[in-house]
Every structure is written in C-alpha cells, then in structure tokens.
Homo-oligomer: A and B are copies of this chain.
Amino acid sequence: MESNTLIIDEDKFIPQLSIDCVIFGFYGEQLKVLLPKVKHLNLWALPGGYVLKEEGIEEAAQRILEERTGLTNIYLEQFYVFGKATRSTAETLKLVLLANDFGIQENRWVLERFVSIGYYALVDFSKVVTKIGIYDETCEWYDIHQLPNLAFDHADITQKALETLRFMLDNKLIGLNLLPETFTMKELQILYETILDKPLRRDNFQRKILSMDILERVEKKFTGAAHKAPYLYKFIK
C-alpha cells in the first residue's frame, strides 16, 4: 500500500518495501473483499503499510490489518511480490496527499518506487467488526465482481490473489477460515462455486468432500422452509 501514510516516521520502516492485503470474506452467496476508501477521493486502496525495521513481514501484515480493519490474528498467506519498475505510484500518491491537504516532500522514499508483498487473508464474515483506520473514510465489503475504483495496481493484486486462492482451493482448507463454525453442505458448495466461478454437481461435491474426512456432521438445521432440513457440518480439528 502506498496511500494513507501521510504522517509516518520514515526512519522506523524499511524503505520502499510495502505490504498489501487482500481480505476475503463470504456472505450472501458472494465472495467479498474488504476495502478502505481513501479520504476525500473516489478511490479505494487495499489495506497496506510498511515493515518496521525489526519486524517480520508476517507480523507486519498482521499489525497493518489490525490498525486498518480491527482484525486480529487472522489467516494470512503470502502470494506474490509486485515489483515491476513501471509500477508507478507517485502520481496517484501525490493526488492523495493534495486531496488531504498534506504538502509533498519530494525527497521522501514514500514517493519513490515500491516493491510490495501481497498477502491474502481469509476471514469469517460473521465475526468481522471493521474499524476505520485513521486515514480512511470508510472500510466496507465489496463483491469480487463489483470492485470500486482501485488505486495503483491494486486491481491486479486483487486478481492475482483470487487466482492463487482458486489454485490453492484443493490444497488448503479454505472453507475453514471463510465459513462460520457450522454450515450446511450447500453453503460449502456455494463457497466453492463462488471461488471457482463455475457450477458444481451437488451429489459429486458432497461425495468428494465427505470422502476427505474433514467434516463432522452435527445436528440438523430447521429453517422453517418447506423442504427437507439439511445437516449442519463443522470442520474436524
């Protein structure tokens, strides 16, 4: 991230290195991304920040997420480093500074080229209570298919995060972090369908997931709807 860093002590951080986080949540049969809005501009940026000189990058990502969104100790996965020379951010950053009545100090590294480490986070939508960072106007969820105007190359970063999530779907227990404690098979299937962006067969999906022995069937869920009540499941620890 390169915005919202208007008042920082540059000596505390590793110069020209940043972290950007793509936070995925799942709600209303849609995959969502949590995005803070830049104050005074029609512009959104991934929650991001810098790495303290004595701080591990994973800890930096956790700290940044807590400062910007209030989320603590969440599932994080490094996915790519964005470091093209043409990854120019100074122009947009200057816009941000001007819009917020900050002067532009040309010699600071904040205005130089950045290398940014991308992390994606998976969170249980129902447990998230977002906090607005001191430089943010809002911090809200957006459908992955209807993202707002993203700053810098943050649309590319989000896209790459989504591709990585898809690629990892069979190797990591994605659902464990994106769903509440208990859920129905249908909810899990819709989550997979949403991430993969393609329909899956109900019977085959159930057979495959159950054969993995990662789910425990708990009680039934009576919704009051006029049909058979589905079982609830939870992940086996």
Contact = CB atoms under 8 A, between A and B. Distances in A.
Contacts of A86: 56
Contacts of A84: 56-58
Nearest to A118: B81
B78 A78 contact: no
A115 B57 contact: yes
* Interface size class, chain A: 20 to 34
A85 B14 CA distance: 12
A176 interface: no
A14 B115 contact: yes
Interface stretch (A36-44, A47-55, A134-142, A187-195): A47-55
A80 B56 CA distance: 14
Contacts of A78: 80-81
Contacts of A56: 83-87
A217 interface: no
Contact of A17 (B53, B55, B80, B115): B115
A59 B85 contact: yes
Tell me if A's interface is mostly helix, strand, loop or mixed: mixed
A112 interface: yes
Contact of A15 (B16, B54, B55, B59): B16
A113 interface: yes
A112 B17 CA distance: 15
23 contacts: A14-B15, A14-B16, A14-B17, A14-B115, A15-B15, A15-B16, A16-B53, A17-B17, A17-B115, A54-B85, A54-B113, A55-B85, A56-B83, A56-B84, A56-B86, A57-B81, A57-B83, A57-B115, A58-B83, A58-B84, A59-B85, A60-B83, A81-B117
Nearest to A61: B83
B81 A81 contact: yes
Interface in A57-94: 57-60, 78, 80-81, 83-87
A20 to B, nearest CB: 13
Contacts of A17: 14, 16-17, 115
A154 to B, nearest CB: 18
Contact of A112 (B51, B53, B57, B113): B53
A78 B16 CA distance: 19
